[in-house]
Amino acid sequence: MSASRGGFSSRFGFIMAAAGSAVGLGNIWGFPTQTASNGGAAFVLVYLVLAFCLAYPAFMAELLIGRYGQANAVTSMQKMSRNLWQKRFAFIVGFSGIICASLILSFYGILAGWMMSYAIEPITSVLGYNQASSWLTSQSITRNLLFTALFMMLTISIIRRGVENGIEKWSKRLMPMLIGLLILLIIYVFTLDGSREGFAAYLNPDISRVFEPDLLINALGSAFFSLSLGTSVMVIYGSYISKKENLVTLGAQVTLIDVSIAFLAGLLIIPSMYVAQAQGVAIFGDDGSLISGPNLVFEVLPTLFNGMGAVGFFVGFCFFVLMSIAALTSSISMLEGPVSFVVERHNIERKKATTFIGFGIFIISTLIVLNFDLLFGFVISLSTVYGQPLIAMLCCVFVGWIWQRSDILAEIKQGNDEVEYGLFWKIWPWYTKFVCPSAIAIVFFHSL
Ligand code: PHE
CA of 441 to the centre of ligand 1 (A): 21
Q: Does some domain include residue 115? A: yes
For residue 46, pLDDT beyond 70: yes
Average pLDDT over residues 252-274: 93
CA neighbor of 422 nearest in space, from 434, 409, 437, 433: 409
For residue 50, pLDDT beyond 70: yes
Per-residue buried b or exposed e for 104-115, using 16+ beta carbons within 10 Å of the residue's own CB: bbbbbbbbbbbb
Q: Does some domain include residue 5? A: no
Percent of the chain topping pLDDT 90: 75
| Per-residue pLDDT tens digits for 25-43 | 999 999 988 888 887 888 9
Q: Does some domain include residue 377? A: yes
Question: Residue 295 — left, alpha, or beta (φ > 0 → left; ψ -120 to 50 → alpha)?
Answer: alpha
Residues 6+ apart with CB under 8 A from 258: 19, 22, 23, 27, 51, 226, 227
DSSP string, 97-130: HHHHHHHHHHHHHHHHHHHHHHHHHHHHHHTT-H
Question: What is the distance between the alpha carbons of residues 400 and 374, in angstroms, rounded to a whole number?
Answer: 38
Q: Does some domain include residue 262? A: yes
Q: Which atom of ligand 1 is nearest to the CA of 333?
A: 10
CA of 431 to the centre of ligand 1 (A): 24
CA of 31 to the centre of ligand 1 (A): 12
Q: How many domains does the chain have?
A: 1
Residue 316 vs residue 217, higher pLDDT:
316
- Ligand 1 test: best mutation among 329, 333, 390, most atoms within 8 Å of CB? 333
Average pLDDT over residues 280-308: 81
- Ligand 1 test: best mutation among 33, 171, 330, 332, most atoms within 8 Å of CB? 330
CA of 22 to the centre of ligand 1 (A): 5
Residue 403's pLDDT is what? Answer: 93
Contact present, 106 and 144 (Cβ < 8 Å): no
4 band by pLDDT with thresholds 50, 70 and 90: low
- Which range has the worst mean pLDDT, 93-107, 258-272, 289-303, 352-366? 289-303
- Ligand 1 test: best mutation among 228, 236, 257, 323, most atoms within 8 Å of CB? 228
Q: Does some domain include residue 2? A: no
CA diameter of the chain: 67
Give me the domain span that covers residue 286.
11-447
7 band by pLDDT with thresholds 50, 70 and 90: very high
Residue 186's pLDDT is what? Answer: 93
Residue 448's pLDDT is what? Answer: 63
Contact present, 171 and 4 (Cβ < 8 Å): no
| Per-residue pLDDT tens digits for 113-151 | 999 999 999 999 999 999 999 999 999 999 999 999 999
Instruction: State whether the beta carbon of 231 lies less than 6 angstroms from ligand 1.
Output: yes
Q: Does some domain include residue 386? A: yes
| Per-residue pLDDT tens digits for 154-211 | 999 999 999 999 999 999 999 999 999 899 999 999 999 999 999 888 888 878 888 8
Contact present, 73 and 341 (Cβ < 8 Å): yes
Q: Does some domain include residue 282? A: yes
Residue 1's pLDDT is what? Answer: 40
SS3 345: helix
Contact present, 148 and 365 (Cβ < 8 Å): yes
Instruction: For residue 82, give the CATH number of its domain.
Output: 1.10.4160.10
